[in-house]
Amino acid sequence: MATEPKPVNLIVTNACKIDGEHVAVGEILLNVEADLAIELTGAGRTRLATAEDIAAAEKAAAKATK
């Protein structure tokens, strides 16, 4: 009985391109499929995002729109 891995939230630690789109350091990637998450994290480009990381990114985005 195999189960599908759940998507995860990541934070970018090293700027890179994903599917041809540039992602900056500190950007939050939500609901990333397990295979891509393993590839990006294994290459040192991302790490798992904590609740604090996500809250800080939302706060920064809200501040930038003011």
Q: Where exactly are the structural domains of the chain? A: 8-65
Contacts of 28 (CB under 8 A, 6+ apart): 9, 10, 11, 12, 49, 53, 54, 57
Q: Summarize pLDDT for 14-52 with one digit per residue, the tens.
A: 999 998 999 999 999 999 999 999 999 999 999 999 999
pTM of the model: 0.83
pLDDT at 2 over 80: no
Q: What's the CA dihedral at 40, 42, 45, 29 to 10 degrees? A: 40
Task: Note the pLDDT of residue 1.
Answer: 56
End-to-end CA distance of the chain: 50
Q: Residue 55: pLDDT above 60? A: yes
3-state secondary structure at position 53: helix
